[in-house]
Chain A
């Protein structure tokens, strides 16, 4: 990775399902809860819309971490999208393990009402990556 990328602030790209986690992030905002600025959210219609190619691209092109956030298993707006997400992300993590890439991809289940949970999860990820980068 280029030096210029190394020295800048931590950046985390988050793909959030518009039916749950993205709503939770909005609620966090309206409740004036804070989460780190470096977290950039991308709204997706379902967590299973996230092709692992997006994640690989984000990481290779400079993001420090990526998370995918969707509805709890069983609660998918499209009934079963998040079950596919779970398989795809588990496999992608396995691939990252094989390449000794640790802790840079996370999967969260956050419902629309869980603003606190959302903030805790992303903040924890942010701090964790920041700690490792020191």
Chain B
């Protein structure tokens, strides 16, 4: 695979070059002395950071329903964020036209809630990789930490030299603006391919127990990058009745626990995102009640994607399984 070596100063010239155009913006991370987080850069990339060791939300969320209208947008984000972006394109919730997505090798992240002040950010990118910080469950079990998704990737070889590699024509055009020769990228990288996930197995009692503290605030849904429906079924009285509708239901069918419909909400959401969930754990991060959601959403989605040998966000051209079919398949589906 061909790519270019990327020195720290190249990052500046590459991205500042991109921003020179009026109407071009970059979504990445900004790090200053106080904080680090998602930031949209315009004009120049002052305080830009390739890596953010603290996770608060999946960055693909912010530009959902974006139809670029002539502007150019460059995403420089974690693999799970770029994968969500790829899924949103397939779901026609974003337009691919003016956008370029670059995934950056991710050593794993810590929950932003766990960090006690964010003042001691390592200066050097390598330290993120070396430091043995506690990681979120989603990251320990992450399926794709490598910057191998999107239009291009920024990767680290085992000696911590940085490489930028194109995966599509768009990525190639961007990287072509960078000085330096196209060379063969080393095989041996700092972050290796993850092993196949284990087959998730649980039961309803376990789910019920885990959801016992759920208050049905639906933050998990709202922060999920791929849970995009404008008219969500849970905003209606049919699925989660309130007021009169709840009273009618109780008179019709009997007693209920409140909040009513926790298992219903999570199981349906789990199915609805089953092919597009990227296992980022943004849902769990958003939950005020500390419910271990990722294990269910990631576990179920990996099982259901496995049925169709699909992996969310891996490839722009791989259709989402529920939107396509083969005539000759699933012979055992019928009972």
Contact = CB atoms under 8 A, between A and B. Distances in A.
A2 B257 CA distance: 10
A61 B240 CA distance: 12
Interface string B296-310: 000110011001100
A70 to B, nearest CB: 10
B333 interface: yes
A91 interface: yes
A78 interface: no
Nearest to B267: A56
B203 A99 contact: yes
B271 interface: yes
Given A98-B202, A106-B335, A108-B335, A4 B254 contact: yes
A99 to B, nearest CB: 6
B264 A87 contact: no
A61 B249 CA distance: 11
Interface string B255-298: 10000000110011011101100000000000000000000000
B100 to A, nearest CB: 32
Contacts of A116: none
Given A95-B271, A107-B335, A90 B330 contact: yes
Contacts of A5: 254
A27 to B, nearest CB: 20
Interface in A35-73: 52-53, 56-57, 60-62, 67, 73
B327 A83 contact: yes
B83 to A, nearest CB: 19
A84 B324 CA distance: 7
A92 B268 CA distance: 10
B321 interface: yes
A98 B299 contact: yes
A5 B207 CA distance: 20
A86 interface: yes
A80 to B, nearest CB: 7
Given A99-B202, A107-B335, A86 B330 contact: yes
B221 to A, nearest CB: 13
Contact of B253 (A62, A84, A89, A101): A62
Contact of A100 (B202, B254, B321, B322): B202
Interface string A103-134: 00011110000000000010001000000000
B77 to A, nearest CB: 28
Contacts of B322: 84, 87-88, 91
Contacts of B253: 61-62
A74 interface: yes
A101 B204 CA distance: 8
A26 interface: no
Contacts of A87: 308, 321-322, 325, 330
A69 to B, nearest CB: 10
A60 to B, nearest CB: 5
Nearest to A70: B334
B200 interface: yes
Nearest to A51: B233
Interface in B205-253: 207, 233, 239, 253
Given A61-B253, A84-B322, A100-B201, A94 B307 contact: yes
B334 A80 contact: no
Nearest to A53: B268
15 contacts: A2-B254, A53-B239, A53-B268, A56-B264, A83-B326, A87-B321, A87-B322, A91-B307, A94-B304, A95-B274, A98-B300, A99-B202, A100-B203, A107-B333, A107-B334
